[in-house]
Structure 1
Amino acid sequence: MERRIMNKRKRVFSLHPNKNPKAVFARRYASHLVPALKKINMNKSSSQTNRQSFEQTVKHEVDMAFALSAQEFAWSRFLQQKLSLSPHDDPVSTTSSSEILERSSKKQGREKHQDRDNGEGEEIKKRLKELQKLLPGGEEMNMEEILSEIGSYIVCLELQMMVLKSIVQDN
């Protein structure tokens, strides 16, 4: 009995914390985001900037930390490339997690009122096209790649929200 418990503990508690991808993402995300936010805060106090510019700068840094924290995924590389090419003063340059949730809820509302005569195949194609639009770089991926990347993207969005909530609660 005692030996069985020890075996379970070995599986649950890793001696190597870097082996846990969720912990690695959270640690990377915080290590990228916190210094950037501190720098923005210092610059904000030294110069009078307008609120919109400040919010766009924070959004850009949050999105860039998100991309840098999950570099092993294709969607992350696409997001990072998009963020580096476009200036952060473009408010439509990236899709934040709150925008994704908002789009999703609007889409669900529209779908309730749509005609249900579409075949299953058409419905699946339509949903895959929506996934393609939501996933950074999705337009350049085939469906197999999208399906393999979307899971990691959702998990990283959830982890991002958890880290951001903990940062807000600490302040």
Structure 2
Amino acid sequence: MERQIITKRKRVSSLKEKKNLKAVFARRYASHLVPALKKINMNKCSSQINSKSFEQTVKHEVDMALALSAQEFAWSRFLQHNLLSSPHEDPSYSSMILERSSHKQDSKDEGAEIKKKLKELQKLLPGGEEMNMEDMLSEVGSYIVCLELQMIVLKSLVQDNIS
């Protein structure tokens, strides 16, 4: 009986933590991103920066804020490492992934097609290629949720600046 009560308490607290996860992420994300964007804006005003360099710098800071806001996940640590090792991501990388995913190869073996899709998914998840399939699949969900939350925060910031 006592064991059941403890189990129930754990469930309640873990559900409460999941509800607060979105709010915590949004707060962390905004606290990392807003100061970085202000700094970029100040630097832009004081010097002449070309538009492509400005876009790359903003993208870098948006991605870094994502990585810093979800440090409890493995993909976040890989993303942060990648961002720190190369200050600006090659923009052609994203377009290469999109091109590859749009081409469908005829495959008779469904298992081979699934393996191919999993390999593509590994490439999309920061650090996915260095994880085993089980770990990678468990990380994908948190990555997608954080990307969705990132979009919500970014939309909110844009709407606040337009108003």
Same topology, TM > 0.5: yes
1:17–1:23: 8 Å Cα contact kept in structure 2? no
Contact 1:73 1:149 in 2 (8 A): yes
Q: Cα offset for 1:151?
A: 0.4
Aligned residue type for 2:134: E
Task: Give secondary structure in 1 for the equivalent of 2:103.
Answer: helix
State the one-letter code of the partner of 1:110.
H
Change over 3 Å in CA distance of 1:165–1:141 after alignment to 2 = same
Q: Which residue is 1:152 aligned to?
A: 142
Q: Deviations over 1:17-68 (max 9, x none)?
A: 8961111111110110001001111111111121121111111111100100
Q: What's the RMSD between the two structures over aligned residues?
A: 2.6
Once the two structures are superposed, the pairs formed by residues 5-154 of structure 1 within 5 Å of their partners are 20-86=20-86, 88=87, 90-92=88-90, 99=94, 103=97, 106-107=99-100, 109-111=102-104, 114-117=105-108, 119-154=109-144
Q: Is the 8 A contact 1:82 1:93 kept in 2?
A: no
**Pairwise CA distance, 1:109:** 3.6
Structure 1 residue 153: deviation in Å?
0.5
Aligned pairs, number: 148
- The answer for the alignment partner of 2:6 in structure 1 is none
% identical equivalent positions: 71
Query: CA 1:64–1:76 in 2, change beyond 3 Å: closer, same or farther?
Result: same
Instruction: Give the TM-score normalised by structure 1.
Output: 0.76
Displacement of 1:70 after TM fit? 0.3
Q: Aligned equivalents of 2:138 and 2:28: distance in 1?
A: 22
- Structure 1 unmatched runs, 5+: 1-10
Structure 2 unaligned segments of length 5 or more: list them. Answer: 1-11
Alpha carbons 1:68, 1:76 under 8 Å: kept:
yes
Q: Deviations over 1:97-141 (max 9, x none)?
A: xx48x945x555422xx3252x22112111110111100011110
- TM-score of the superposed pair, with normalisation by structure 2: 0.80
Which stretches of structure 1, 4 residues or more, deviate above 4 A after TM superposition? 16-19
Closer, same or farther: CA 23–94 of 1 in aligned 2, 3 Å: farther
Judge conservation of contact 2:83–2:89 (CA < 8 Å) in 1.
no
Verify the 8 A CA contact 2:75 2:128 in the aligned structure 1.
yes
